[in-house]
Amino acid sequence: MRLLMPLLGFLLLAPIFCQGQEIVGLNFSNRKLKLAKANPTTGQLQILSPNVLSLDPFLNGDAAYDPIGDRYFYVQGNMATPNLLCVDAETGVPLSVSIVQNVNGGNAVLFNMVYHPNEDALYGLNMLNQGLYLTKVQPTTGQATIISNQSIGPAFFQSGDAAIDVAGGRYIFTQGTGNSQKVVSVSLTTGQVISSPVITNPNNAIAALVNIAYNPLDQQLYGLNFSGYHLRFVSVDPQTGITTMTNPNPLSGDLFSSGDGILDPATGRYFYVRGRPSQLYTVDITTGTLIGSPTIMNPNNAVAPIMNIVLRDSDCNSPLIGNPDPLGPDTVVFNPSYTLYPNIPNAAYQWWNGDTTDSQTVTQSGTYWVDILIDTCIYRDSVFVDFQLVSKTSSGVVISSFPNPSLGPVTVSLNIGEIRDGLLMVADMKGRIWWDYALDGYVANTPIRVDLSQLPRGTYLFRYQDGLEIVNEKIVKF
């Protein structure tokens, strides 16, 4: 399975700006919300949504972005109708609208929302009984599951944005006022507070932080410190709360903030929107210096605000040239171990377990994945390895499909050593069956025509099963 995403950040690259990077967010004009993108260098804004997403200006929490599915999420409305909107980040067309509802009943207003790429889930803060509870939300249905079994802080005192540490299993947010602000780390598994140090500068003076973003490369938070009516760029150790200021010069004296703070580990850039009129700021995270701050303008050169921003890399929305399936097809293994080896030139890897080696050896059945870093993009591939489904006496069915990848029509044949009665299916990588066909007395290599035209683009499995075995073959649908 091959999936594409912009760099989530596991290796440090030279700080070069990727021309495909876009700032995507919500444009609110004439009481109408539309998804838009802005060029970080020029500030030029382009409206993406062909139609109005909503007339309701009330936004809760932050936006979140799914780099694998190229989806933009935001929560809108009040307690009576907390709508979760999922929008195609390329076209601005809404994919789904659902009311956020607790599993045990009642609507849930989700604040400080982040997306977990490995779980295809949203995490955020749910306000209940004057308290805050870490909550996990299914992105397309809005079903909310409260993770915390007790309040992790008082309601209405969270500030700045939230961040997610996928490798460390932490949800991070800032809480409190300027007189005493904490950086709170919460376990994604238990929903309980791991640490909550007060944010201070090296002289132990209280420091406030807004628009936070997490850098997985150095495990630090980055954000804006407000002091003396000025904003300065700082990093914060979430374990100690101590801030580091590499550049004492203020970035801006304007306190009007819109959108979120977002960080690109690949290029070492931090972005935020601030001011009236809105300006798009870019900061070098190593030096803390301002790289640019263009005013955001629409094609008619009129000032155009944008809020709830995320970073999207359009250059990553293309196939991995020359090797669309680095880990190979799903496989059945008779030996006690199996080695996964992508062997991509000039690439770096991060595996499901956090390792960055060139290969991994597995000994148990399951689905395994690797993120393959090439330039500033990551290509994700996964494979299902089965040590149990087929015995050593199996005749060994082989599935062939052509063309692969395909825009729709595919010819499938099975190399079977004897006449079989079985079932041929098309399944997605989450196990959902999209098509099935009964093979009664199937003769080896008889062609079967399958039309995938109506399926969304992505990676699927041709799956054959009978009483003896189950065999999978990947098919990429463009």
**Is 50 exceeded by the pLDDT of residue 131?**
yes
Confidence of residue 419 (pLDDT cuts 50, 70, 90): low
Confidence of residue 386 (pLDDT cuts 50, 70, 90): confident
> Where exactly are the structural domains of the chain?
2-6+19-316, 329-388, 392-478
Give the model's pLDDT for residue 14.
25
| CA-based R_g, the chain, Å | 24
Confidence of residue 390 (pLDDT cuts 50, 70, 90): very low
Give the model's pLDDT for residue 456.
83
Express as a percent the part of the chain with pLDDT over 90. Answer: 20
Dump pLDDT digits (tens) for 215-235: 888 889 998 887 767 788 999
Distance of alpha carbon 295 from alpha carbon 303, whole angstroms: 7
Q: What is the pTM of this model?
A: 0.66
CA–CA distances in Å: residue 100 to residues 111, 322, 331, 381: 11, 42, 39, 31
**Is 50 exceeded by the pLDDT of residue 208?**
yes
Dump pLDDT digits (tens) for 59-79: 655 789 988 788 999 888 766
Query: What CATH class is the domain 392-478?
Result: mainly beta
Dump pLDDT digits (tens) for 13-31: 222 233 457 899 988 877 7
Structure-model confidence comparison of residues 285 and 333, the more confident one = 285
User: What are the phi and psi torsion angles at 316 (to 5°)?
Assistant: -90, 0
Structure-model confidence comparison of residues 56 and 363, the more confident one = 363
Confidence of residue 103 (pLDDT cuts 50, 70, 90): confident
Distance of alpha carbon 161 from alpha carbon 172, whole angstroms: 9
Selected from 2.60.40.10, 3.30.70.20, 2.130.10.10, 2.30.110.10, the CATH number assigned to the domain covering 2-6+19-316 reads 2.130.10.10
Sequence-distant (6+) residues with CB within 8 A of 146 are 102, 103, 104, 126, 128, 133, 134, 135, 191
Give the model's pLDDT for residue 19.
41
